[in-house]
Amino acid sequence: MLSGRKSTIWVLPESLEPDPLIADIGEVFPTVIEQVQTTLRTWFDTFDWRLYQRGFYLYYDGVDWNLLKKESEDVVASHTTKVASGTYFAWDFPASRIRSILEPILEMRRLLPLVVHDSSATCLRILNKDEKTVVQVFLEEHKLTDHKSVLRTVRLQNVRGYEKNFRELSRFLGNYGIRQKADLFYPFTKGVELGGRQPLDYTSRFDISLKPEFSARSAMIVIYRQLLDTMQRNESGVLDDLDSEFLHDFRVAIRRTRSGLGQVKKVLSKGITDRAKKDFAWLGSITGPTRDLDVYLLYEKNYRPRLPDGLQGGLDIFFADISERRIIARRKLVQHMQSGKYNQILSTWHDHLYSETENEEAENSGIPVVDLSRDIISQKYRKIIKDGKAITLSSPDEHLHRLRIECKKLRYILEFFSSLFPQKDMKQVIKLLKRLQNNLGEFNDLSVQQDMLRNYHTTLRPGSRKNQDLAASLGGLLTNLYHEQQKVRSGFALRFSEFSADGNALLYKKLFDLKT
Amino acid sequence: MSVIAVYHIKGGVGKTATAVNLSYLSAAGGEKTLLCDMDPQGSTTFYFRIRPVEKFNTRKLLKGGKHIDRSIRGTDFPGLDLLPADFSYRNIDIALDDMKKSRQRISRILKPLRKEYDQIFLDCPPNITLLSENIFYAADHILVPLIPTTLSYLALQQLYRFLDEIEESRSKVIVFFSMVEKRKKMHWEIMRQLIKKKGFVPALIPYLADVEKMGLYRQPVNVAFPHSMAAAAYRSLWTEVSKRIGGE
């Protein structure tokens, strides 16, 4: 490895004022002082930290977008472009290296400006007797624009071949108590923290830690609280329509809650459960239409390559129309979410989950959660095996859909209670279920799409040239999707045989006391 | 990535000033640049306020690798490093002569550095020697400052003939006019005749006091006098040379 540029950054202790330090350095070392230009940096990541998770940092300085890798602190891709303010999806970047890296990572998520700071620096060039610069000291100041705080760092920059002077300065700074190392990303990480967040503080995965001795009631309360928290954290992203994942995660939390209410029975009192079931069904219904249209819009990328050039025009019309419908659906959704009813539902639920008193006991609320969870999981497993075995190639589609829903229920329950069982085993259990679910999900997805296109088709009035184009494109798509669905269906038998295999059954026996 | 040797058979034609200023402009343009001072006089090294490196000499240079790596010094300018000269280079031909494949030695030494730097400049000593032969072999381009006089032109012819003799391509040569004196009619006359010839770039460095003063300020003219005529002249020379290099 050839020796190159090397720099070390420390946090300047709050007790140390920069000016006296500069004066002290100037007294000991021959120094030239220069001001470094101010730069404004905006750091970006998605709500669920997709860049951070993969060791990337991204900032925009008004001219360039720079993508840096954490370990090397090196810019891996840079692009000079203005992206229209507020539209920070990967596809908003012009074709470039930075876009090709961002696209698979961000997918449909929007980049959010998380930290903005104005940085300026005083540079001290330390000279030798030939008045040659042998090391540079930068006293940097980062003004966070949102929080009115100022972060200060000291950076020492080596000059190749003058390492002795670098070490000398580093010792000198050490004498001032400048020892806490920082990195290039310090203004970002510290800024995030001051903004009340932490890197990786949100993930759409359900991750909760329960103890086997928890009562069913306290376990479910912990689970429902976390799901409510997820809803609340996604709420503003839904209202501001930042990207489609906010609504998606919001709805998944609703579905998980409903699944809990329906499957983990008699843990909360009947009154509360009945009411919550009704309320969450309503929440599901008001968020559904927008989500459906989101899904159709996300299909665009998938549909384009299915049709020849001649039929692409019809697709343009179709997606333009879907976008318009979405505007209307969203308007309704926002109205609902700002209504008294909505607020009432969430606050009532919140109060139930956080009230200290357990005034209304229910039949199962006191039994250990681990016992209850075993029962529910075994029961669901048996049902899936029974229903799945009855499915043949000639069964109606409806049977596959029902099985899909049962599998989904099992999946939610497994995820709720996963922390109660050995992790390695749970991984295997979930893996096999997931493979079956993928097959059923894909099958369902393709039926939903065909239904949607068929319904859409029936609303078209014949006659106009535009509608003819549209109908032709829809017809092409329908054929294509149908063939694909047939293929997926033929894969079901294999996936189900894996799931129902003896090995998996033994695992369920061992973990959940399954009785066959 | 290319290796540019700044060369002339004679001394005092503005060779070192060219190497110093163009390497600075190359680095300022964002290319990681190394300037190797091959001249035992060490003027380039002096201009950057760098001292000859202890324990670095002809023997170490020709060994290459870590010996060179350890001796490279950062200049005061971001992206620009220098390999300082050593007085022992005056006997470099004798050392080269003792070696196998003595023509390719410098090329081999530069090989790992080509990976690290975007641009390498060689400031060469005058004369035609075994070292020059090495440099012509190693360089992608030979940049020749030419004072517009008859004798200088004859010296250029000599260079071409030498390249033919060692079977190096004449197309490596890039010529520009140096130390041009506005008031000398003869300079204009000769330039008019030569400018259309192959290898010449349409840029010239006038004879200017600011260039001479580099020894006093020990900085590239584009740093000491960024708004001067001299600075502008080097900028346009670098533009022309970059175009020629990039146009391959």
- CB-nearest to A160 from B49, B73, B218 is B73
Q: Token match 């070390």: residue?
A: A8
Q: What is the DSSP letter of A221?
A: H
Going from the C-alpha of A245 to that of each of A189, A235, A257, B197, B198, the distances in angstroms are: 24, 11, 18, 66, 63
Name the nearest CA neighbour of A387 among A411, A373, A407.
A407
Name the nearest CA neighbour of A251 among A204, A209, A297, A208.
A204
pLDDT at A3 over 50: no
Report the SS3 class of residue A296: helix
Mean pLDDT of A281-295: 95
Question: Comparing A57 with B91, which gets the higher pLDDT?
Answer: A57
pLDDT at B215 over 70: yes
pLDDT confidence of residue A470: 86
B82: left (phi over 0), alpha (psi -120 to 50) or beta: beta
- B73–A125: do the CB atoms touch at under 8 Å? no
Q: Of the ranges A23-32, A94-103, B73-82, B95-104, which one carries the lowest mean pLDDT score?
A: B95-104
- CB-nearest to B72 from A5, A132, A161 is A161
pLDDT confidence of residue A463: 74
Label residue A2 by pLDDT band (50, 70, 90).
very low
Residues pairing with A60 in the sheet? A42, A65
How long, in residues, is chain B?
248
Label residue B1 by pLDDT band (50, 70, 90).
confident
Q: How many CB atoms lie within 10 A of CB B171?
A: 12
Residue A444's identity, in one-letter code, is N
pLDDT confidence of residue A360: 63
Q: Which residues contact B157 (CB under 8 A, 6 or more apart)?
A: none
Asked if residue A52 lies in contact with residue A199, where contact means CB atoms within 8 angstroms, the answer is yes
pTM score of the predicted model: 0.81
- A3–B69: do the CB atoms touch at under 8 Å? yes
Alpha-carbon gap, residue A297 to A290, rounded angstroms: 11
Alpha-carbon gap, residue B226 to B235, rounded angstroms: 10
Alpha-carbon gap, residue B167 to A146, rounded angstroms: 67
Please count the helices (runs of H) and the strands (runs of E) in chain B.
Answer: 13, 8
Write out the two tokens for B56: 């670095």
Locate the chain B residue with the closest alpha carbon to A127: B76
pLDDT at A458 over 50: yes
DSSP string, A44-87: EE-TT-HHHHTTEEEEE-SSEEEEEETTT--EEEEEE-PPPTT-
CA atoms within 13 A on the CB side of A43: 27
Mean pLDDT of A414-428: 95
- For chain B, give the percent of residues with pLDDT over 70: 99
Write out the two tokens for A70: 């954490």
Q: Is the dihedral of CA B204, B210, B216, B221 positive or negative?
A: negative
When scoring A1, A2, A32, A159 by the number of chain B Cβ atoms within 10 A, the one with the most, hence best to mutate, is: A2
Residue B14's identity, in one-letter code, is G
- CB-nearest to B51 from A130, A131, A160 is A130
Label residue B96 by pLDDT band (50, 70, 90).
confident
Label residue A85 by pLDDT band (50, 70, 90).
low
Distance of CA B213 to the CA centre of its chain: 19
Write out the two tokens for A253: 């939390």
Strands B33-37 and B80-83: parallel
Residue B200's identity, in one-letter code, is F
Q: Token match 């400052």: residue?
A: B145
Alpha-carbon gap, residue A185 to A70, rounded angstroms: 8
CA A102, A107, A113, A118: dihedral to nearest 10 degrees?
0
Label residue B247 by pLDDT band (50, 70, 90).
low
Report the SS3 class of residue A171: helix
pLDDT at B32 over 90: yes
- Per the prediction, chain A carries an average pLDDT of 91
Write out the two tokens for A317: 């019309």
Distance of CA A287 to the CA centre of its chain: 19
When scoring B76, B110, B217, B219 by the number of chain A Cβ atoms within 10 A, the one with the most, hence best to mutate, is: B76
Q: Which residues contact A156 (CB under 8 A, 6 or more apart)?
A: A7, A8, A9, A135, A136, A137, A138, A166, A169, A170, A173
Write out the two tokens for B246: 């990039």
Is the minimum CB–CB distance between B53 and chain A shorter than 8 Å? yes
Alpha-carbon gap, residue A365 to A266, rounded angstroms: 7
Alpha-carbon gap, residue A11 to A181, rounded angstroms: 6
Q: Token match 């357990």: residue?
A: A358
Q: Is the dihedral of CA A224, A229, A235, A237 positive or negative?
A: negative
Alpha-carbon gap, residue A44 to A58, rounded angstroms: 6
- Put the strands of the sheet holding B173-180 in their side by side order: B73-74, B80-83, B33-37, B119-123, B2-6, B141-146, B173-180, B200-206
Chain A to chain B, count of Cβ pairs less than 8 Å apart? Answer: 33
Query: Which uninterrupted H or E stretch holds A253?
Result: helix A244-263
pLDDT at B248 over 60: no
pLDDT confidence of residue A290: 96
Going from the C-alpha of B6 to that of each of A314, A510, B23, the distances in angstroms are: 64, 80, 11
Q: Residue ranges of the alpha helices (H) in A355-491?
A: 369-389, 397-417, 423-458, 465-490
Alpha-carbon gap, residue B31 to A511, rounded angstroms: 62
Model ipTM? 0.86
- Per the prediction, chain B carries an average pLDDT of 91
Mean pLDDT of B1-9: 92
Distance of CA B135 to the CA centre of its chain: 10
- B81–A160: do the CB atoms touch at under 8 Å? yes
pLDDT at A492 over 60: yes
pLDDT confidence of residue A84: 64
- A132–B72: do the CB atoms touch at under 8 Å? no
Rg (CA), chain B: 17
pLDDT confidence of residue A441: 93
